[in-house]
Chains A and B, each alone.
Chain A
Amino acid sequence: MIANRIAYGETLIELARERDDILILDADACKSTGTLQVCRQVPERFIQCGIAEQNMMGIAAGLAMAGKVPFVATFAVFTCMRAVEQVRNAICYANVNVKIAGTHAGLETGGDGGTHQATEDIAIMRSLANMTVVVPATPNATRKLTRAVAQRPGPCYIRMGKDPQPELYAPEEDFPIGGSRQLRDGRDLTLVACGNMVWRSLEAAKMLETHGVSARVLDLYSIKPIDRDAIVRAATETGGLISVEDHNIYGGLGGAVAEVLTELAPARLVRMGLQDVFGRSGNPDKLYEMFHLTPEDIVSTALNRFPKA
């Protein structure tokens, strides 16, 4: 198993070798973000900006205005908060071709604690006009989505965690932006998840089967644009939805799903995620238990909140 951020770095090396316009920018986090391998293998495409995320976003904007396709990566907290106004004005308002990777999102950041665990980044990034937001669940999905954002004009944000993720997809599977993947069909309820909550939801669906509950599992890897049709189908074909995300329940995946449901297909939605609290230091496995984001928690939520299911 490898982490999504490692698959991201590997894909950037391929892209840098395939295309002349790809550059990789770092703010002294490349040992963590997965781009150290880029620095070593294609050093002529690697720009070290130092611990200065605001300047890095501005440099990326300038490079993009001059026709380059810069990929910037750092911890998700710094992409969307330390440098958010640069992302908004220099990148999104200018509508230039900058690709932003936020790694160490969510509780997986573990020991580094609450200051380093981005639990607001989806909400912040998707509220910026012109921005595309994707959250890959696995290394193969990361590879495809890294290529997809490289192809897509305009600002894009790709969210990744820290830890190795089990592979759920064959290498040739496609991940068009604006789409979703149904990993399992079901009729009683739908678990909609992104990132590291997808495999947990899949585990939960298997456990729910032993309780006689048939759960559909959707990987909503494209948060913006979002697959409205898949959400509407989940609402009309199953008995309700549970959104599961390693993020505050406000404004992220659950918020995005709620918006679609409210406008197009009102249905019961229960949002799982951080219940408007910050994370804390700890072993990630323990943290997911503490914050009720394990497969078992998804099962009990399904059974308690959808008793008829």
Chain B
Amino acid sequence: MYSVEELRKMANTIRYDTLKAIHVVGSGHPGGCLSATDILTVLYFHTLRIDPKNPKWPDRDRFLLSKGHAAPALFAALAHRGYFDIHELLHVRLHDGRLQATPNLTIPGGDSVSGSLGQNLSIGVGYALAARLDHKDYRTFVMLGDGELEEGQNWEALMSAPAFRLGNLIGILDNNHVQMCGTVNEIMPCGSMADKFRAFGWQVVEVDGHDIAALIRVFDALPNRPEGAPTMIIADTVKGKGVSFMEGKAAWHGGAPDDEQMKQIETELGGGTL
């Protein structure tokens, strides 16, 4: 069991290693990685029932990153959790590494494929149905982006999970308010997501997605039941969180920090492993 302080430190390391890898390979999606990092850290170092030595353990909790472009942060979390060497991250998105731009089933700890937005909540519904059919008590967690919710398939999935009464399915909205070409409010303003999820039959919990202690409390309080309302955690986050010049900036949806910027990142985050 890690302390809140240790988790905070781990999150910082994951942030730094993610940005260092993006810097080295020259491309990636820093903003959406940084908004998701605290949540990923709590999931992988506190909440998920997993065994890095046995990545295909049938009873493991599943984690599906629907906003697949945040893969470098997920890969950093998996590496630090013991699935593979963190130095593999320095080849992410490159031809000579096994870590692709987005998650897939071939990497240790990979439970899904994503990259094309809007698809993983459906896949999570499939996992959750399979768990119930097999009388297994693993849970399925799916992380979504708020911009991603503009994809219609999400709403098919959001409709179906309560209809199937998937109490073993947990959605996590990385609500970072910014997408590629602007803020979500500029691109497609559509009011309260919490109200929409509730109207579809989800149990909704709202939390500060950068408050490690609060995230722990929310995840610890999650029900695990084969039947019942699925849960959607709306985690309020900041795109680019942790790096002053990236925070809240659509410009940092995609791109890579240059040498000068990397120095500032090191100053602000205090360095990592890579």
Contact = CB atoms under 8 A, between A and B. Distances in A.
A286 to B, nearest CB: 37
Given A50-B160, A85-B116, A90-B119, A58 B153 contact: yes
B4 interface: no
Chain B contact residues: helix, strand, loop or mixed? helix
Interface stretch (B79-87, B125-133, B244-252): B125-133
Contact of A58 (B126, B159, B163): B126
Given A58-B125, A94-B104, A89 B116 contact: yes
Interface in A184-230: none
Interface in B114-136: 115-116, 119-131, 133-134
A65 interface: yes
B38 interface: no
Nearest to A95: B105
B77 to A, nearest CB: 20
Nearest to A63: B126
A62 B130 contact: yes
A86 B66 CA distance: 13
B117 to A, nearest CB: 10
A60 B157 CA distance: 12
B129 A54 contact: no
B129 A55 contact: no
B134 A55 contact: no
B112 interface: yes
Contact of A93 (B104, B120, B124, B126): B104
Contacts, number: 97
A54 B126 CA distance: 13
A257 B22 CA distance: 46
A57 B58 CA distance: 22
A66 B134 contact: yes
A28 to B, nearest CB: 12
Given A49-B160, A65-B111, A58 B123 contact: yes
Contacts of A90: 113, 119, 122-123
A54 B153 contact: yes
A17 to B, nearest CB: 16
B259 interface: no
Contact of B123 (A49, A59, A93): A59
Interface residues of B, number: 31
Interface in A37-79: 47, 49-50, 52, 54-68, 70
Nearest to A98: B126
A125 to B, nearest CB: 18
Given A54-B156, A94-B113, A59 B129 contact: yes
A23 B112 CA distance: 20
A64 B126 contact: yes
Contact of A65 (B121, B123, B153, B160): B123
Contacts of A60: 126
A266 to B, nearest CB: 36
Which one of A61, A65, A68, A89 has the greatest number of beta carbons of chain B within 10 Å? A65
A93 B75 CA distance: 19
Contacts of B113: 61, 89-90, 93-94
Given A62-B125, A86-B153, A89-B115, A55 B160 contact: yes
A307 to B, nearest CB: 51
Contact of B129 (A62, A93, A94): A62
B127 A52 contact: no
Nearest to B104: A94
A55 B156 contact: yes
Which one of A54, A62, A95 has the greatest number of beta carbons of chain B within 10 Å? A62
Contacts of A68: 130, 133
Interface of B: 58, 104-105, 111-113, 115-116, 119-131, 133-134, 140, 152-153, 156-157, 159-160, 163
24 contacts: A23-B133, A47-B129, A52-B160, A54-B119, A54-B152, A55-B153, A55-B157, A55-B159, A55-B160, A58-B126, A59-B125, A59-B160, A62-B126, A63-B130, A65-B126, A66-B126, A66-B130, A67-B58, A68-B130, A86-B122, A86-B153, A89-B115, A89-B119, A90-B113
Given A58-B121, A65-B123, A66-B131, 9 more contacts: A55-B160, A57-B122, A58-B123, A58-B125, A58-B153, A61-B113, A62-B128, A63-B127, A90-B123
